[in-house]
Structure 1
Amino acid sequence: MNVTPLRLPDAASIEAVLAALDPASADADLIPALAAAFPGFEFGLAHVDDAYWRDTRTVIRPDGTRVGELRRWMSAELAKDSGEIRALWTRLKETDLEITEWRGTSAFVFAPTGPGVADYVQIALGREVEGRAGPIVNPDYRPWGEEELLDPGWPRRDPLPETDRLAGPVYRLLDRAGGAFIHVRSLLDRCGRVERDKREAKRPELERRVLREVEPHGTRDTPFLELVPDYFDVVPRELRFVRDWEDSSAKPQRVYAHWALDARDYIYKDEREVGFIPRPLRPPQERLLMTPETSVHLLMDRIEAVDREVGLPFGWFFLMTHGHWVEPDVGLAIAEGLKTQRVRLPDPDARVLLRWADRTYGF
């Protein structure tokens, strides 16, 4: 499918769209609002169940009246009691004041920009709701330090009842390490270029480096690049992930139909870091683990079951590169079974798996 967008999304424009959403209908209005703001894109939405808490808390009265931001308000109250934590706790636990907290889960918006499996844009959002967290202090436990008052860790962590909701849901652009809005194909190009530049910058040093090996009749100095001749040809795991998708039975389906990407693009200690960690949108119910008594034929049955569950041919392989849902040893065992002709995979998948087994990668 060829898509010719009239206007490429940008962070400021996306934030303007999000700010204009009415919380009462934000879930239903999000995709239509983005489509209206950026004609030519066919947006889709996927939610990820990964609860997080923002550090923004507010002090309120039982009727919902807002008293102030927790840290600033609590610091002022502590000053009234000359910094005496016990005195402040004794006073506050007799009040009916409460604190609120913002809870969120991740949401990812996708839209294709071309026919390739990585030709799409991704927007990383947080879907957040503000609710009552509990009384202003824990009445059953006296805090021992100021930070326990300013950043309490005791409020409940069970699901937030609808009756305790105060605001939201609202959608917020999550600029996690520069990956809030990405064009995936462009990110991959940058990832490969940055890795090549890093390695090339080390060429003069590596051309001088030698490794001394002890032999029965003395020592021998071997140039590093003679031992690692493909050092400058290493392909980043992110590019291998997409290349393996394109070369396997998964190719007819889009990456974004099954995976969200926790992307990053930032500078750390004067070095640029570019890449992503893939996150499955529909992980299997159970992990596939390798045990000594597991035969390769049983593994074949199990990987077929995983593929059916996630709705993706060769899906087990990409779960394996992540490492949590399918152990890498599963892939190595099946690769060995292919080499000894004990099992078979479709030819494209067999080539991808054997290539991976020859030089493994993971996230």
Structure 2
Amino acid sequence: MNAAPLRLPDAGSIEAVAAALDPASVDDDLVPALARAFSGFEFSMARIDDDYWRDTRSVIRPDGTRLGELRPWMMAELAKDGGDTNALWLRLKETDLQITEWRGTSAFVFAPTGPAAADYIQIALGREIEWRAGPIVNPDYRPFGEEELFDPSWPRRDQLPETDRLAGPVYRLLNRAGGAFVHIRSFLERCGRSERDRREAKRPEMERRVIREVGPDGVRDTPFLDVVPDWFDYVPREIRFFQDWEQSSASKHRVFAHWALDIRDTTYKGEREIGFIPRPLRPPKARLLPTPDASVHLLMDRIEAVDRELGLPFGWFFLMTHGHWVDPDVGLAIAEGFRTQRVRLPDRDARVLLRWADRTYGF
């Protein structure tokens, strides 16, 4: 008898699971609750320190009584003063009313769906806490316009005391431009299909395009596709990232054990934009930059140190494709050192690195 198919998570069910959790134990309870709701999946979670602020604010009294959301409440109060922001400011600064704000950090939940590098799901969440942020208006400076009342800038941005915590932590599904809940293999298929469709739509234009060269024998026009015959076979960087992972020493590890993907799938001015930016879950303590006096052997020592710090063979390469922690020039220098037989790499890693050096990509 065939086993029942796994029930894939969906946005509504994920939000319902998160909303039912007790803030006092939510960090410990989230993954077990998801496992109960979606049996058959082995969930794990990683949090990233990337502070953000939601644009949702409330108006409260000192005792915590809520009067409403800031913008509609402020608009109603402004109407009472005939739209006079100065009069409203003078009135409100004499009150003890306060505003709240939600501060959050990103969290990612993962679950494998198969053995390949892209066989997993990713859920992008925000771990959010509501805080007592400050007075309803800045008592020291009158506002230049109503937007300063609707979108205040005076609340503190430093760490707030626990006595100012009002609610949370809660986990909320983030609206990451189509990337809140993603099956990665399906996403990569969409990514490749979108790029093929985009390039195929330009076929008539590309078949007409020529590269004009002026030489001693006059002007010569060469068809663009004769110069770039593989233009229609372009592989997006997102797909190459996973191909390189599977074909390198990193393949012994799961991608999601080391990286979260900041995914987008949107349409802008009639053209689809689909892709991701990889974010390391545990970035190295220091950046690796090339220096004029650094030999390729020294660079090899340094990338091996990066791999040990990450606990990931060939991990330096994937940090390099991001570009912030390992400079791409490091990869080019090591590729050249390998070509000239000054350094050695495992065969599979060498193939990946040389392919990248011939046609670089980065995020």
Q: What's the TM-score, normalizing by structure 1?
A: 0.96
How far does residue 85 in structure 1 lie from its aligned partner after superposition? 2.3
The answer to whether the 8 Å contact 1:316/1:326 transfers is: yes
Contact in 2 for aligned 1:43/1:109 (Cα 8 Å): yes
Q: Which position in structure 2 is the counterpart of 1:199? A: 199
- 1:289 is matched with 289
Structure-1 separation of matches of 2:48 and 2:5: 27
Q: Deviations over 1:98-147 (max 9, x none)?
A: 10000111110000011111110111111111001111111222221211
Residue 345 of structure 1 deviates from its aligned partner by 1.5
Q: Residue by residue, what CA displacement relative to the aligned partner does 1:241-300 show, whole Å, maximum 9, x if unpaired? A: 001111111010000000001112222223222221111000011111122222212111
| 1:299 maps onto 2:299 in alignment | yes
- Alpha-carbon distance, 1:233 to partner: 1.2
1:89 shift after superposition: 1.8
Percentage of identical aligned residues: 80
User: Once the two structures are superposed, what CA deviation does each residue of 1:163-207 show, in whole Å capped at 9, x if it has no partner?
Assistant: 111011111111211111111111111111111111112112211
Q: Which residue is 2:267 aligned to?
A: 267
Q: Distance in 1 between matches of 2:261 and 2:35?
A: 21
Is 1:139 matched up with 2:151? no
Deviation at 1:64, TM superposition (A): 0.5
In the alignment, which residue of structure 2 is the partner of 1:102?
A: 102
Alpha-carbon distance in structure 2 between the residues aligned to 1:270 and 1:62 = 49
The Cα of 1:4 is off from its aligned counterpart by 8.0
1:9-158 map, 5 Å: 9-158=9-158
What amino acid maps onto 1:355 in structure 2? R
Report the counterpart of residue 234 of structure 1 in structure 2.
234
Uncovered stretches (5+) of structure 2, i.e. residues with no partner: none
One-letter code aligned to 1:328: P
Range with greater deviation from structure 2 (295-304 or 351-360): 295-304
Give 1:203's aligned amino acid.
R
CA distance in 1, matches of 2:223, 2:18: 56
In the alignment, what sits opposite 2:214?
A: 214
Look up the SS of the partner of 1:21 in the other structure: coil
Aligned to 2:258: 258
Amino acid at match of 1:92: L
State the 1:214 CA deviation: 0.8
CA offset at residue 54 of structure 1?
Answer: 0.4
| SS of residue matched to 1:59 | strand
- Alpha-carbon RMSD across the aligned residues, in angstroms, is 1.4
Gap regions ≥5 residues in structure 1: none
Cα distance in 2 for partners of 1:31, 1:304 equals 34
Distance across 1 between alignment mates of 2:160 and 2:320 = 34
1:314, distance to aligned residue in structure 2 (A):
0.8
Instruction: Give every structure 1 segment of 4 or more consecutive aligned residues whose post-TM-superposition deviation is greater than 3 Å.
Output: none
SS at the partner of 1:250?
A: helix
Shift of 1:32: 1.1
Question: Deviation of residue 211 (structure 1)?
Answer: 2.1
How big is the shift at 1:311? 1.2
CA deviation map 1:300-319 (0-9, x unaligned): 11111111111111111100
Q: Secondary structure at the match of 1:101?
A: strand
Which residue of structure 2 lines up, in the alignment, with residue 248 of structure 1? 248
Distance in 1 of aligned mates of 2:4 and 2:329: 43
Amino acid across the alignment from 1:78: L
Distance 1:297 1:278, change over 3 A: same
- Aligned partner of 1:355 in structure 2 is 355
The amino acid across from 1:296 in the alignment is V
TM-score, normalization: structure 2? 0.96
What is the CA–CA distance in structure 2 between the aligned matches of 1:5 and 1:32, rounded to whole Å? 20
How far 1:36 moved relative to its partner? 0.8
| Alpha-carbon separation, structure 2, partners of 1:94 and 1:301 | 64
1:159 alignment partner in structure 2: 159
Which residue identity lines up with residue 113 of structure 1 in the other structure?
T
> How many Å separate the matches in 2 of 1:291 and 1:174?
40
- Return the offset for 1:20: 1.7
- In the alignment, residue 241 of structure 1 is paired with which amino acid? F
